[in-house]
Structure 1
Amino acid sequence: MKPVMKSEMNVKKQRSPVASFFRTFLLAFLLFVLLCTPGMAIFGKVTGQTIFGEPPVVLEEELPVLVSKDSPFFEAFSDKNRVNILLLGVNSGLTDTIMVASFDMDAKHVDLISVPRDTYYHRDGYNGEAENKLNAAYRKNPLNTAKAVSEILLGMPINYYAVIDYKGVEKIVDSMGGVPMEIPFTMKYNDPYDKPPLVINIPKGHQVLDGKKAVQFLRYRKGYTEGDIGRVKAQQEFMKSAFKQCLSFELPKIAKTVFENVESDITIGKATKLATKAMGITSEDITTYMLPGTPQSAAPWYVIPDAEGTAEMITQIYSIEPKTTSEAAVQE
């Protein structure tokens, strides 16, 4: 089993309720696609078509096919049988959550890299403080974020993307008849300044969460005795329960709702291949990472990427021997 990234390589930065919600659901979405896409063959679609309708951009057409030789990990990126999917959680037109799901098709393992939205990323022609944050690169075009994230990850190729908002999550949960959960304590929270205002009120005990309650549960952040760890565990339990529910419910109906509420350039053919390779994969086959970096303690609150730490993270993900990482390879 691949070792889990140690805590010292994580950026200790408090996540917003929206970010925590997207983190959990985007991971669930990835596994849903891997597990459920073969069923789309019954709809008679050709393998070259996208699952989610006509995407605004197709990364395979816009980004170089070959990995840049300028990357210190050129050989690893070129040789590994991996597919890297950019997952974006959009709230009010901003990329509140940015992740890369890297699927090793030979090892049947998913490495999930979270990239803070406040990561410093300079773009020529954009000099405002807010414009130098990674989340500003999106501008309703996932290609912009894909290029930026690839650069921050030392040239890691980005093959596909998927974009979703929490309104879509609500519809998907409702389509599967809700998600059974054991709520450990009464969850209450109000944020009148959120748009729309956020009101969380979920009683303690076993119940089936509908779409609205599921979003509330995923966005809830206070009250866990273990703090952030407790919230992550609760979200993982939700994810596991949601998978069991979707696999035992009307899969075509759920798939239809997912495909109507997610924007992605993944094709039927590629998703079917990924799903075939992912047979038997479980949540135990997932390792999560946070982009190594240093968060600033004052405005504009940038997270400055750590190139050396990023190289160590990529080394672990791609199972490269430590001796291949040199000081020259991690120069910014």
Structure 2
Amino acid sequence: MNREELNEEYITRKNGASKQVKPLRKLKRIDKKTSYEPEYQGQHEAPSIDIRIEGEKPPRKPRPEEQLYHGLHEKGNDEDMDEAEDFDGSFGKRKKKSKKDAVIKCAAILISIVSIITLFLNMPILWYKKSGQPDERVSIITYFKKWQPTVEIEGELEKPSKDFNVDTDIVNTDFTDGLDLPQLVEGQYTVLFLGFDEDQELTDVIWICQFDIAAAKLNILQIPRDTAVPNYTSNPTTKINSVYYEGDQSISKIQRVVNCVQDNFQVPIDAYITTACFDIVDIVDLVGGIPIHLDNEIIYEADKRIPKGDVVLDGKQAEWFVRFRHEWLQGDIGRVQNQRRFMAAAMQKILSIVKDEGKLKLYSYLNTIYKNKWIATNMSVDDLSKLADFGATLTTDNVSVDMVPGEDAMYYAYDGVEYSIYSIHKKATIDKLNEKFRPYQKPLLPSESNIIEYVDEYNYQYDLYDDTGMTFEELETATEPLRDPDKKPWWKEDE
């Protein structure tokens, strides 16, 4: 029975009714060779047959934007996607969302990596060993902070057993200066700075640099190299600059000087920095020189001259400047006074580096100095960076410099030779220490100091050096020390 006969029979059976029923449309098999090929289902799957009603339009091929994303590694057509619309007509938004998702995923991966690294760096996996202290297990970060790259040059300092008479009315259990440093007295951090001669035996520069952290100040006490300290050196001159090399042979060289300073001036020394005159050359050249004004030409030697006026001292000139003493009327005292001007100029240079180039630049300079061992210190990387941070906040009006009160004197040694020394004025010195260098300690008594006077207070010739204090702000306009006309170089006598 064909299709037409089936239609007639269906009409007849419909309750005998003559109602016309729409005949079934012919089904047509789609040729596989049409332009609309079925989706490939796999090598071992039977091909699917697309059956449609005759006369019906062929199904529309999905546009690229309507195809579902099947995985990270499938290819896509970026140009088509740029122009495509999503199922809801907003495919552009979907693209933006995809980029955003990718950024979020990358950020999440990066954060995970950073977290893992941070966790690793903070894990206590290294043993930290320090002389006189028990070994402890620390993290890599803590180990780096505690690292003392140049401590092996001079060694560690012994922890003093003496009582520094801390004023508990000020430094009580609640007192803190806000800076976590290994301090002997809370509120202050004191560094002994020593500058060596060419042979690195005599300490021709001796400065006590006390950072009054709680008061945001820096006070510097200059000790003339000729200061007499007979109980601390075997040298017949009794001069303090010989203590480093000819002091108590049972302790380290740096400890000899530290003990001498602490016993005589009763200022606790937390750390030290040493450098040689030839290292100053490299340090000054590193930072690009030190600007300064010179009232007159300085002639260190016949072929080593620094012109007068506004100049920028390079490394060699800086060395000549701080060591020059021949023409000063007061000899070594004149040199000490002239070194103040250099300190003030160097302070201005440091402040300009922080202002113009940033703290990171200052840290890079410190790192270079550390790396090349142009200084020796027992301070750790962390200690030095904290101190540099504090120093960068100081201004020239809260940095002051004083010299130990005293006078020149002649001393007849046991070897029968007469030496020129600097005799300390004990009372004036103790007054100076109590005023500026013992802010968190009880007042120092004369009996607590080991200072020995070669000229007693009833026979002082002058008190010219009993009050030489100046701020760095005042030093910016200070003139050079007095010159002795009789010491003028012979080749300049006619000038």
Q: Does 1:63 align with 2:159?
A: yes
| Residue in structure 2 matching 1:160, options 268, 271, 278 | 271
Q: Does 1:304 align with 2:423?
A: yes
| Residue in structure 2 matching 1:264, options 377, 385, 389 | 377
Q: SS at 2:226's partner residue?
A: coil
Q: Does 1:120 align with 2:228?
A: yes
Q: Does 1:288 align with 2:401?
A: yes
Q: SS at 1:47's partner residue?
A: helix
Residue in 2 that maps onto 1:177: 288
Residue in 2 that maps onto 1:6: none
1:325/1:164 CA distance change after superposition, 3 Å: closer
Q: 2:385 & 2:363 partners in 1: Cα distance?
A: 15
Residue in 2 that maps onto 1:99: 207
Amino acid at match of 1:135: N
Q: 2:420 & 2:308 partners in 1: Cα distance?
A: 37
Residue in 1 that maps onto 2:195: 89
Of residues 294-303 and 261-270 in structure 1, the stretch that sits farther from structure 2 once superposed is 294-303
Q: SS at 1:157's partner residue?
A: coil
Residue in 2 that maps onto 1:141: 253
Deviations 1:119-158 (CA, angstroms, capped at 9, x unpaired): 222348x65523x3222221272111000110011x3211
**Contact 1:308–1:331 at 8 Å: present in 2 too?**
no
TM normalised by structure 1 equals 0.67
1:176/1:222 CA distance change after superposition, 3 Å: same
1:276/1:325 CA distance change after superposition, 3 Å: same
Q: Does 1:235 align with 2:347?
A: no
Q: SS at 2:346's partner residue?
A: helix
Of residues 95-104 and 296-305 in structure 1, the stretch that sits farther from structure 2 once superposed is 296-305
1:230/1:113 CA distance change after superposition, 3 Å: closer
Compute the RMSD of aligned alpha carbons.
3.7
Q: 1:202 & 1:212 partners in 2: Cα distance?
A: 10
Q: 1:279 & 1:114 partners in 2: Cα distance?
A: 22
**Contact 2:166–2:440 at 8 Å: present in 1 too?**
no
Displacement of 1:172 in angstroms is 1.2
Question: Identical aligned pairs, as a percentage?
Answer: 20
Deviations 1:7-58 (CA, angstroms, capped at 9, x unpaired): xxxxxxxxxxxxxxxxxxxxxxxxxxxxxxxxxxxx9971111254534311
Q: 1:189 & 1:115 partners in 2: Cα distance?
A: 23
Q: 2:388 & 2:363 partners in 1: Cα distance?
A: 16
1:231/1:327 CA distance change after superposition, 3 Å: closer
When the two structures are aligned, how many residues end up with a matched partner?
272
Q: Does 1:129 align with 2:236?
A: yes
Amino acid at match of 2:159: L
Deviations 1:286-313 (CA, angstroms, capped at 9, x unpaired): 2222223343235323333344333211
Residue in 2 that maps onto 1:151: 263
Q: 2:223 & 2:337 partners in 1: Cα distance?
A: 21
Displacement of 1:264 in angstroms is 0.7
1:44/1:217 CA distance change after superposition, 3 Å: farther
Q: 1:45 & 1:57 partners in 2: Cα distance?
A: 18
**Contact 1:179–1:245 at 8 Å: present in 2 too?**
no
Q: Which has the larger radius of gyration?
A: 2
Deviations 1:235-278 (CA, angstroms, capped at 9, x unpaired): 35632453256444654553244222001111122223334444
Amino acid at match of 1:143: Q
**Contact 2:193–2:206 at 8 Å: present in 1 too?**
yes
Residue in 2 that maps onto 1:273: 386
1:45/1:176 CA distance change after superposition, 3 Å: farther
Q: 1:306 & 1:149 partners in 2: Cα distance?
A: 15
Displacement of 1:164 in angstroms is 0.8
Higher share of residues assigned helix: 1
TM normalised by structure 2 equals 0.47
Residue in 1 that maps onto 2:366: 255
